[in-house]
């Protein structure tokens, strides 16, 4: 696994230490990797939503109700469709 050297501000370093001390994570590296994974997942959802919005803007109007659109969107975000 590639090694990196990074610096944290004092408040961020203290927060990282507190998470490790609470045994939520075994190391700062594990915590930082988890935070990056979460950010990547969130970015994927944002990218998906942005693409859907762009496509929708280009496709025009729909006869679906607001409730149907919301239900479908939530299902897609949750990976159900």
pLDDT tens digit sequence for 31-51: 999 999 999 999 999 999 999
Quote the CA–CA distance of 2 and 32 in Å, as a whole number.
14
5 occurs within a structural domain: no
Give the 3-state secondary structure of residue 22: coil
Grade residue 59 by pLDDT with cuts at 50, 70 and 90. confident
Residue 22 forms part of a structural domain: yes
| 79 or 5, which is more confident | 5
Residue 35 lies in a domain: yes
Sign of the CA dihedral 15, 18, 22, 25? positive
Confirm whether 2 is domain-assigned.
Answer: no
Indicate the pLDDT class of residue 80, thresholds 50, 70 and 90.
Answer: low
Does 4 map to a domain? no
Q: Identify the weakest region by mean pLDDT among 13-17, 28-32, 46-50, 58-62.
A: 58-62
For residue 21, how many other CB atoms are within 10 A of its CB?
A: 9
In a domain, 42, yes or no: yes
Domain count, the chain: 1
Range of the domain at 36: 10-77
Quick one: average pLDDT of 1-27?
Answer: 95
* Count of helices and strands (H, E) across the chain: 3, 0
């Amino acid at each position: 696994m590639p090694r990196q050297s990074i610096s944290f501000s004092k408040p961020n370093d203290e927060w990282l230490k507190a998470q490790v001390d609470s045994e939520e994570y075994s190391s700062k590296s594990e915590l930082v990797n988890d935070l990056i994974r979460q950010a990547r997942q969130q970015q994927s959802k944002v990218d998906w939503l942005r693409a859907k919005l762009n496509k929708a803007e280009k496709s025009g109007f729909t006869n679906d109700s607001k409730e149907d659109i919301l239900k479908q969107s939530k299902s897609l975000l949750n990976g159900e469709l």
